[in-house]
Amino acid sequence: MRKALVNNLQLFGKSLFAPILLLPIIGLFIAFGNVFGNGNLAQYVSFLDFPLIQNTGKFISSSAVSILQNLALVFAVGIPIGLAKKDKGYAALTGLVTFVIFINAMHQILDLTHRLVPTETMKSAGQAMVLNVQVLEMGVFSGLFIGALVGVLHNKFCNTEFKGVLSIYSGHRFVAILAIPSAMILGALAAQFWPYAQTGITTVANGIRGMGVFGFLVYGFLERILVPTGLHHLVYTPFLYTELGGVAHIGSETVYGARNIYFAEMADPTVSVLSSTVNWDARGLSKMFGLMGAALAMYVTASKDKKSLAKAILLPAAVTSFLLGVTEPLEFAFLFTAPILFGIHAVLTGIGMMLLSVFHVHAIGANGIIDFLLYNLPLGTTKSNWPMFILTGLMMATIYFLVFRFLILKMNLKTPGREDDAETAAAPSPVKAPASGAAGKLPVPSLIAAGNQSAPAPTLGATIIAALGGSDNIENIDNCYTRLRLILKDPDAVNEGVLKETGSKGIIKSGNNVQVVYGLHVKTVRDQVDQQLGGI
Cβ 54 vs Cβ 37: under 8 Å: yes
517, β-bridge pairs? 483, 506
Q: Residue 142, CB half-sphere, CA atoms under 13 Å: how many?
A: 34
* Ranges assigned E (strand) in 345-416: none
- Give buried/exposed letters for 9-47 (b at 16+ CB in 10 A, else e): bbbbbbbbbbbbeebeebbebbbbbbbbbbeebbeeeee
Taking CA 259 as the corner, what is the angle to CA 258 and CA 265, rounded to the nearest 5 degrees? 90
Coil, helix or strand at residue 230: coil
Q: At what angle do helices 339-358 and 386-411 cross, to 10 degrees?
A: 150
Element (H, E) at 127: strand 127-130
Residue 158 a catalytic site member: no
Cα(62)–Cα(54) distance, rounded to whole angstroms?
A: 12
Q: At what angle do helices 172-210 and 88-112 cross, to 10 degrees?
A: 70
Active site residue: 448, 480, 499, 517, which one?
480
254, β-bridge pairs? 249
Which residues have a catalytic role annotated? 480
